[in-house]
């Protein structure tokens, strides 16, 4: 009966204020250039990169925490935020033996892209030897959006073309830009439009440098709202994102998406089962995402490790038009980080913890995860208000 209720309450199209506010595209003569899909000289390579990342049983390890955020993680295990400690932790992650069986791409922070492991090998080379494609976070973080309801916008477009060209030279083959949308703060039409426009400009620039852009408008978990409200906001956000991606001639076959799953707000009393999250999320994707997009790589957003895996598994119970997988940071690294605790003698156990999560999510990508035998720790939620990257 759940689906009948959903159909009635929220999936029926509502009049969109965004669409209503925009001058009708059909009323304008269509210039010849907007009919062409601009792929640029890297088109074949973009398709190949996106397809290899979105290959069966594989997903992305997000390890692109900015130095400030990495510092918070290290502080949680009593370590100082030094370059040496960040290097030791990231060496542990990239060199976990056999990680490439489950992970096809790793998103790095700029420091790591140019860094060597503690044994003096380039981090990017260690990843490539594991058959893991290196990626790079290219946004410059969030700042307050003037004129909005205490919302944010994402910086980083200035100088982006020269940075993406340099990152390609350094071995990166895909990029990430994370902006956020807050439900309790609105979201205002201004914030949604700004988020979508920034993502589209970034995507076009990245493709021209040969990097597959991961398009990530994170709809924050913060709030007391129910799942229907998240669904409604997500429909608006993704409509806007695809409108501007198309306007900027972004080549859809050469992008990857990183959405939030459609869940109730973190402070909503009514929780949703994995089946319900999957039903709402897949409905959103079917309504908004063209099948030419090769992969949907979800963020975990503060869900527990096991919750994120169960939800992914529920979405892979029948074939989807796109590869539906993961690009988790917290839901892959949490137990690993705690197990390590900054002690060299714990490196192997910490790598095993990472491999356990990577394997579980790989199985969930194939729709065959049962959730059996998981530790209590991996069931603990990680939601933090106003989380930044
Ligand atoms: P989480 O999985 O911790 O939400 O991280 C997502 C992210 O954007 C990192 O790239």
Q: Give the model confidence (pLDDT) of 190-224 as tens digits.
A: 999 999 999 999 999 999 999 999 999 999 999 99
Quick check: 176 and 137 in contact, CB under 8 A?
yes
> Sorting pLDDT into bands at 50, 70 and 90, what band is 276?
very high
Show Cβ contacts of residue 152 under 8 Å, excluding neighbours closer than 6 positions: 142, 143, 144, 145, 179, 180, 182, 191
Residue 52 in this model has a pLDDT that exceeds 60 = yes
Strand residues in the chain grouped as ranges (E): 59-63, 103-108, 133-137, 142-144, 152-154, 174-181, 212-219, 256-257, 295-298, 323-328
Q: What is the mean pLDDT of residues 124-134?
A: 98
CA-nearest residue, atom 10 of ligand 1: 62
> Sorting pLDDT into bands at 50, 70 and 90, what band is 32?
low
Residue 318 in this model has a pLDDT that exceeds 60 = yes
Best mutation site among 299, 305, 357 for ligand 1, i.e. most ligand atoms within 8 A of its Cβ?
299
Token pair for 117: 């492991």
Q: Tell whether pTM > 0.85.
A: yes
pLDDT at 298 (0 to 100): 98
> Sorting pLDDT into bands at 50, 70 and 90, what band is 377?
confident
Q: What is the rounded distance in angstroms from the CA atom of residue 379 to the CA atom of residue 383? A: 12
Q: What is the rounded distance in angstroms from the CA atom of residue 157 to the CA atom of residue 84? A: 30
Please identify every residue annotated as catalytic. 216, 258
Pairing of strands 152-154, 174-181: unpaired
Q: What is the rounded distance in angstroms from the CA atom of residue 59 to the CA atom of residue 103? A: 5
Q: Of 389, 386, 327, nearest to 139 (Cα)?
A: 389
Q: What spacing in Å lies between the alpha carbon of 301 and ligand 1's midpoint?
A: 6
CATH number of 40-369: 3.20.20.70
Q: Rounded to 5 degrees, what are φ and ψ at 75?
A: -60, -35
Q: Which atom of ligand 1 is nearest to the CA of 107?
A: 10
Question: 158-170: per-residue pLDDT in tens?
Answer: 999 999 999 999 9
| H or E stretch covering 285 | helix 274-288
Measured CA to CA in angstroms, residue 384 lies from 63, 128, 223, 300 at distances of 18, 33, 11, 12
CA-nearest residue, atom 6 of ligand 1: 299
Best mutation site among 60, 330, 334, 361 for ligand 1, i.e. most ligand atoms within 8 A of its Cβ?
330
């Amino acid at each position: 009966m759940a689906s009948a209720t959903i159909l009635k309450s929220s999936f029926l199209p509502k009049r969109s204020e965004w669409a209503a506010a925009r001058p009708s595209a059909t009323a304008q003569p269509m210039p010849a250039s907007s009919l062409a899909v601009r792929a640029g000289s890297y088109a074949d390579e973009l398709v190949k990169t996106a397809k290899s990342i979105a290959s069966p049983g594989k997903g992305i390890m997000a390890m692109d925490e900015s130095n400030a955020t990495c510092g918070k993680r290290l502080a949680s295990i009593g370590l100082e935020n030094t370059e040496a400690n960040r290097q030791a932790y990231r060496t542990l992650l990239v060199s976990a033996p056999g990680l490439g069986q489950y992970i096809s791409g790793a998103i790095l922070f700029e420091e790591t892209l140019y860094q060597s492991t503690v044994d003096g090998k380039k981090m990017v080379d260690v990843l490539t030897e594991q058959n893991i494609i290196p990626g790079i976070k290219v946004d410059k973080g969030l700042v307050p959006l003037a004129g909005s309801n205490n919302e944010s916008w994402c910086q980083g477009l200035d100088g982006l073309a020269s940075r993406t060209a340099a990152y390609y030279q350094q071995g990166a083959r895909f990029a990430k830009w994370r902006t956020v949308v807050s439900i309790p703060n609105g979201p205002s039409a201004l914030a949604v439009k700004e988020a979508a426009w920034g993502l589209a400009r970034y995507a076009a620039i990245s493709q021209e440098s040969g990097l597959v852009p991961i398009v990530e408008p994170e709809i924050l978990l913060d709030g007391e709202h129910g799942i229907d409200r998240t669904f409604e906001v997500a429909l608006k956000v993704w409509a806007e994102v695809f409108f501007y991606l198309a306007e900027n001639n972004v080549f859809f076959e050469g992008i990857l998406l990183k959405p939030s799953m459609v869940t109730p707000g973190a402070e909503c009393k009514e929780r949703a089962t994995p089946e319900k999250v999957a039903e709402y999320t897949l409905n959103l994707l079917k309504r908004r995402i063209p099948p030419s997009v090769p992969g949907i790589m979800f963020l975990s957003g503060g869900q527990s490790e096991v919750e994120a895996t169960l939800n992914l598994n529920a979405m892979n119970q029948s074939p989807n038009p796109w590869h539906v997988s993961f690009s988790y940071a917290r839901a892959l690294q949490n137990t690993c980080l705690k197990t390590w605790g900054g002690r060299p003698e714990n490196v192997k156990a910490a790598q095993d913890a990472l491999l356990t999560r990577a394997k579980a999510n790989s199985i969930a990508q194939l729709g065959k995860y049962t959730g059996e035998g998981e530790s209590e720790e991996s069931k603990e939620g990680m939601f933090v208000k106003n989380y930044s990257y």
